[in-house]
Amino acid sequence: MRDKIYSIIFSAIFLVLMLWCPGAVLLQKLDIISLPENKNIKLPEKVYENGGVLSSILNSIEKGKANLENIYSNGLPMYENITRFMLDNERNMREYLLDTLYSFEKPASNSIENNPEKITGQDSNNGLDELDEPELPPIRYKAKRIGTDSFNAVWAFTEEDQPYSEGWTDKTLLASEDELRERLGNQARHVNRIANANQDVNFYVYVCTRFQETEIFGEIIKDIRPMRDEISTYHLMQEFFVRLDETAINGWDYFKIDTVEKRKERILKTDHHESARGAYSIYCDVINMIAKDSPEIGKPREAKFGVIDGIELRGSHVWSHGYTEIYDKWEYYDINLPYHEIYSNINGKGKTERQIDQYLSGRFSKDTFADHYATFYPRPANIDYPDNKTGRNLLMLTDSYSWATGELIASNFDHTYATIWTHGKFNYNQFIWDHNITDVLIMQVADRLLYDIQNDTQLDKVITN
């Protein structure tokens, strides 16, 4: 009898969960309830690219399996609370063990130049020239490892006498320098191949650097005891630029976050994406770089900045690790842009826009790990500024960094098109001819553009035959 009772109870629980998960997800889609944004996102395990009906059927099956996994993980009651409890305990035990081991070592010091820079359309430093910044007293930093992803180790940083809540997070690449250099060479060959495929356009490259690509990263980490095996990849980025074909590429530049203050100001503290000030800095860099060859596009537009109350953003560095100690306030840029239309499809379908009015009115997710970068910014694949008469049309081969910057960069052109890393095969020359493209910009985050670390940069899908 007891076995029957147990079987009935567990069967009832199983049936409730089977019905609860899809029911909860449906109610969320109808805006009746709100589920926590756990970021436990399941993607299709396989993608069939052979074409035809069979591939479509198989891809639909894979997407269906992924959707079911998403429903029956993110829809589980108390999933976020249980996961965060387990991760917090694991992290606390690891930190206690590391602190105990490191207490036997003599701490050393390290230094960094800390020089905040006001961002305007005129003072953004372009090219590879270095700024002469005053030497400041040494500042010591500490770091703790808060998790490991498939390709990265995740760290929290702060000044040694400050709590981690005043610091920021970053990821370091879990790959050897030899592997990174090999990947970098392959990426440079792809960039040169694309640049040489059509000499009728002006061609540019912009690297959206992470903190690991900065000159100061090595200085900061060299005496942080847990990080002694990590490396700065600044020299690898410079090798990438050296490998580019100067005869086919008009110019290249990179996102300059060469002080801690810039890191905390221009990149989200718990995410690899740019902040509003970072997006504006990238916009200024790109426009100033292209304007050297095409002054008709004009100068960067002036910007003001504001903060939306009630948002504590915790980004992709900490989603899967349940780390809540560090967060960003949500800042936005306010720029007087001409009339324009943005479409999420490169063929001009699906209008989209930055959700500024919705956010200012308080209509945004209050979940701990809400992805405000993804919900606030549009997916700018086709941007038309009909009143611009520059005679310049831009094609961007880009990634999610364009979500915050695409609308701005496009404002200096007549028409801008963006194909991102998820689009698959792309007939490069045919698109240039069909859309009167005058300028091409490759702009992606460094670990994708320099190393293709997650094998998703898609430059190999850019067809140049």
Comparing 107 with 445, the larger pLDDT belongs to 445
Instruction: Take residue 382 and report the two structure tokens written for it.
Output: 């086709």
Q: Is the dihedral of CA 428, 430, 435, 436 positive or negative?
A: positive
Per-residue pLDDT tens digits for 134-167? 454 466 899 999 988 878 899 999 999 999 999 9
**pLDDT for residue 399 is more than 70:** yes
Q: Assess whether pLDDT exceeds 60 at residue 91.
A: no
Q: Is residue 404 part of a domain?
A: yes
Asked if 270 and 392 sit in the same domain, the reply is yes
Residues 363 and 239 placed together within one structural domain of the fold = yes
Domain range for 246 is 168-463
Q: What are phi and psi of 340, to 5 degrees?
A: -160, 165
Asked if residue 220 is part of any domain, the answer here is: yes
Helical (H) or strand (E) element with 405: helix 402-410
Res. 369: pLDDT tops 70 = yes
In a domain, 440, yes or no: yes
For 80-94, 176-190, 211-225, 386-400, which range has the lowest pLDDT when averaged over its residues?
A: 80-94
Q: Check if the beta carbon of residue 407 is closer than 8 Å to that of residue 380.
A: yes
Rounded CA-CA distance 283/279 in Å is 6
- Domain finish residue from 18, 47, 77: 77
Tell whether the model's pLDDT for residue 402 goes beyond 80: yes
Query: pLDDT value at position 227?
Result: 87
Is residue 37 located within the same domain as residue 173?
A: no
In a domain, 158, yes or no: no
Residue with the larger pLDDT of the pair 266 and 14 = 266
Residue 13 has a pLDDT of 73
Q: What is the pLDDT of residue 261?
A: 93
C-beta of residue 291 within 8 angstroms of C-beta of residue 298:
yes
Phi, psi of 333 (to 5 degrees): -95, 145
Rounded CA-CA distance 311/187 in Å is: 38
In a domain, 82, yes or no: no
Answer for the pair 268, 314: CB distance below 8 angstroms, yes or no.
no
pLDDT at position 77 is 72
Arithmetic mean of pLDDT over the chain? 84
Residues 387-390: contacts with CB within 8 Å, 24+ apart?
387/338, 387/339, 388/338, 388/412, 388/413, 388/414, 389/414, 390/294, 390/296, 390/297, 390/298, 390/414
Q: Is the pLDDT of residue 248 over 50?
A: yes
What is the DSSP track for 372-402?
HHHHHS---SEEE-TT-----EEEEEE-TTH
Q: What is the mean pLDDT of residues 434-442?
A: 98
- pLDDT score recorded for residue 175: 87
In a domain, 145, yes or no: no
Q: Do residues 196 and 304 both lie within one domain? A: yes
- Report the percentage of the chain scoring pLDDT > 70: 78
Task: Using a cut of 0.95, tell me whether the model's pTM lies above it.
Answer: no
Residue 109 has pLDDT above 50, yes or no: no
* pLDDT at residue 115 is higher than 70: no
CB atoms within 10 A of CB 126: 17
User: Is there a domain that residue 142 lies in?
Assistant: no
In this predicted model, which residue has the larger pLDDT, 29 or 109? 29
pLDDT at 321: 85
Whether pLDDT at 73 is above 80: no
Q: The dihedral of CA 386, 387, 392, 398: what is its sign?
A: negative
Whether 67 and 187 share a structural domain? no
Name which residue leads in pLDDT, 404 or 68: 404
Q: Is the same domain home to 66 and 185?
A: no
Q: Are residues 277 and 422 in the same domain?
A: yes
> Number of folded domains in the chain?
2
* 68 pLDDT tier (thresholds 50, 70, 90): confident
- Higher per-residue pLDDT: 454 or 110: 454
Q: How far is it, in rounded angstroms, from Cα 373 to Cα 272?
A: 11
Of 25, 44, 77, which one is at a domain's C-terminal end?
A: 77
pLDDT band at 428 (very low <50, low <70, confident <90, very high): very high
Mean per-residue pLDDT, 197-217: 94
What's the angle, vertex CA 204, arms to CA 203 and CA 210, rounded to 5? 155
Q: Reply yes or no on whether the pLDDT at 119 is more than 50.
A: no
Q: Is residue 391 part of a domain?
A: yes
Residue spans of alpha helices (H) in 161-308: 177-196, 217-221, 234-243, 260-266, 276-291
Domain boundary among 56, 77, 98: 77
DSSP-assigned letter for residue 437: -
